[in-house]
Chains A and B, each alone.
Chain A
Amino acid sequence: MLVGPAPTTDGSAENTLNEKRLVHGSIAFWLGPRAPQTKTHRWTVYVRGARDPLEDLSLYIQKVEFVLHESFADPVRVVKEPPFCLTEHGWGEFEVIIRLFPISDPDKPVEMYHPLRLFPSVGQELTEKPVVSEHLDVLVFSQPAPEVERALHRSDVARMPSDCWGDLMPLFGGDLHQVEEEDLRKVQQARERVRQQIQATRLQYEALTAELARARTHALHRELS
């Protein structure tokens, strides 16, 4: 998928061409109160294209490794075929390490960290409703070789069969553009606040400096008198 140039970033051609927006996410189903204690949930962790879940990532990703919690038998799971997803049963949340092995450079995998979520946010009851947690990440190919570039282009049009995700497909959260905008707004607000704090601290600091100078002079006068 080709990422359209965002209005605020500089849209020079080679920069945008080499970016792939991916989503790593997890969907968890509660298996009800009668499920065994160690297998209360069935969850699936996956990597998909951001705009279109059917995008064929295997054109530029050779394989994906999901590194699970150590308590799982055989915690490093390798998925070589698209769609890149892994389904497991479990009872606890942890951080899944997702390793992407790019075709162009399979010796240097790229790591993403996905916080697996099984439970709805605090204060909500456990329900049958699946818990979806998705995060956007951007895979950057800097100065790719021509064949890699061709593969990237091909992936914009190549599509996987529409039933490959099964019943997960309707649960996906789209291209997460709203989240992105929200995050940008948050960062900018935070910068504003930090800047105000810096300014306030600085004024305070200057006031203190003046105060200190006065106190010092006072002390000196007293000493001399």
Chain B
Amino acid sequence: MSARSPVESQALPGTVGASTVASLAELVTGEPTPESSAPNSRAQRLVPYSGAAEPPDNTRQDRPAKLRGLRREVYALTGSAAPPLAPRVALQSRLPAASAQVHYAKRPFSNPAHPAGAAFQLWHWERHSLTQRKDAEASLTPEEGEAASAVYPFARFGKKLETLRYTDEEYSRYLATMPVQGSREPWTKEETDTLFQLAERFNLHFVVMADRWSVFSPSPKRKRSVNELKDRYYTVVRSLAQARAVSDPGFPHSSQDALQKHCRAMLANPYDIEYEDRRKAQYEEQCRRPRSELLREEAVVQQAQEILRARRLKQRERRRLERLFRRALPAPPTIPYAEAAASLETVQRTEIPGGQSASWASTAASSAGSQEAPPNIARTASNVVSAASAAVASRRPRRASHLAVFVRSSMMLAPVSQSQRVQRQVDQMLDELGVGIRPTPTREICEAFDVLRQEILVLIELQRLLKRKEDELRAVRQQNNSAPAEHRARSKRRGKRDHSAE
């Protein structure tokens, strides 16, 4: 067995029993002892589920006696197979020798961001190897290198803001004559100078500038808000840029440097102090609102949405019903008979309460009145049938009519609904009404029968809607009935609390 195997099997889970005391010797000498491999291989064989990386070496002669009636853990404690007392460290993966010591050297450096510049020297510790490499690059002797002052490596991130500067002449020419806005305090030249100094010093952080304003301002009595500072600064830069653009046509577009970019942005977006003031005031107001008010508002919005949703549902339902009744009651038919035409009025008056185009409200109102209609209907029934059926017949596509020869009964067999369930319902209702699904198929009866089936469809649809409405009402009532109990319970609890507080 190779020298690696004990170490390997040690690293695997479930092979705790394979560790040996002999491996202590191994630890000391760094060499596998002859004993160390034998129990290991035995352990591998005895514990088949150990998941050993190498298959057990069956060719070995000195195979120990087979294990009988002994727990694995107990067996592991016997003889040389005892568990290790200390965790083993793989000899090959030892830490590098301590000889590679890291040396640091103290080196000077300067930071150009400091006002004193290179004259102000700072020191820091640097790793020796790094220093040597740098020296080698600069081909310096160690002595020279120690004396040389390096530049601070992060100095390149130290950017300094450059603002537009104005001369006295420019100020008097363009800026002194600027109109004063509203009731604001006018700016003096001293104040403007201070503003620009502060801008450069604090990198245009207006909040900081406003904070320091009372200290640096030549007239500390005069308060200036952040917005006022911004307004003054941006307006001045804008008018300066405009003035320079007039004298130098290519001014803000001639180069890509930061200052010109700044000027271009100023020209493109004038600062609106009124708007900013209003915006901040509104924001402030929103932030100051109490939570309860917010919650109440949210609840109101939710309720409004609920109401709108209910209204939409209602409208949809209304449209659907209107469509339904329009389908049941035929459009004005084209009948060549004067008689039929005369009866048409009766049809529409009796059959369609409120007429097709009438609104739902009027339909509802007149439907009660149309209860007295039946005798009227009965009198004109045959006319109604022919008039209405002619319309239905002209509207409905017929399966057989494109054939040269057909029997009328085939029209009665044509289904009126796509749904088989509905078709069954219609047929059942026809049976209940005593008509049957196949009355004598003369022309007249066919047409009346067609209308009848359409009306039955409407009735079925209506019944379905009615049932849905009933369910809805039941749900609302249930809610209403359960709500008061909750309400009472809550008020009772509250009352008790009040009582105990007293």
Contacts and interface: CB of A to CB of B under 8 A. Distances in A.
B459 interface: yes
Contacts of A188: 381-382, 385, 448
A218 B466 contact: no
A184 B447 CA distance: 10
Given A138-B441, A140-B407, A141-B405, A191 B448 contact: yes
A193 interface: yes
Contacts of A202: 367, 462
Interface of B: 310, 328, 335-337, 351, 364, 367-368, 370-371, 374, 377-378, 381-382, 385-386, 401, 403-410, 413, 429-430, 433-435, 438-445, 448-449, 451-452, 455-456, 458-459, 462-463, 465-466, 469-470, 472-473, 476-477, 479-480, 483-484, 487
Interface string A27-54: 0000000000000000000000000000
Residues of B contacting A: mostly: helix
B465 A142 contact: no
A201 B459 contact: yes
A212 B473 contact: yes
B372 to A, nearest CB: 11
A147 interface: no
A222 B480 contact: yes
**Most chain B Cβ neighbours within 10 Å, of A144, A189, A197:** A197
**Most chain A Cβ neighbours within 10 Å, of B443, B449, B458:** B443
B323 to A, nearest CB: 14
A6 B456 CA distance: 27
Given A198-B458, A219-B476, A193 B442 contact: no
Contacts of B378: 192
A192 B459 CA distance: 12
A127 interface: no
Contacts of A140: 405-408
Nearest to A187: B448
17 contacts: A108-B404, A137-B407, A138-B407, A139-B406, A179-B440, A184-B444, A186-B433, A187-B452, A191-B385, A191-B455, A192-B374, A194-B429, A199-B367, A201-B463, A201-B466, A222-B483, A222-B484
Given A136-B441, A201-B463, A105 B404 contact: yes
Contact of A142 (B310, B371, B401, B483): B401
Contacts of A205: 462, 465-466, 469
A77 interface: no
Interface in A48-82: none
B466 A187 contact: no
Contact of B404 (A104, A186, A187): A104
B238 to A, nearest CB: 55
A216 interface: yes
B367 A206 contact: yes
Contacts of A191: 381, 385, 448, 451-452, 455
Given A198-B458, A215-B473, A219-B476, A203 B448 contact: no
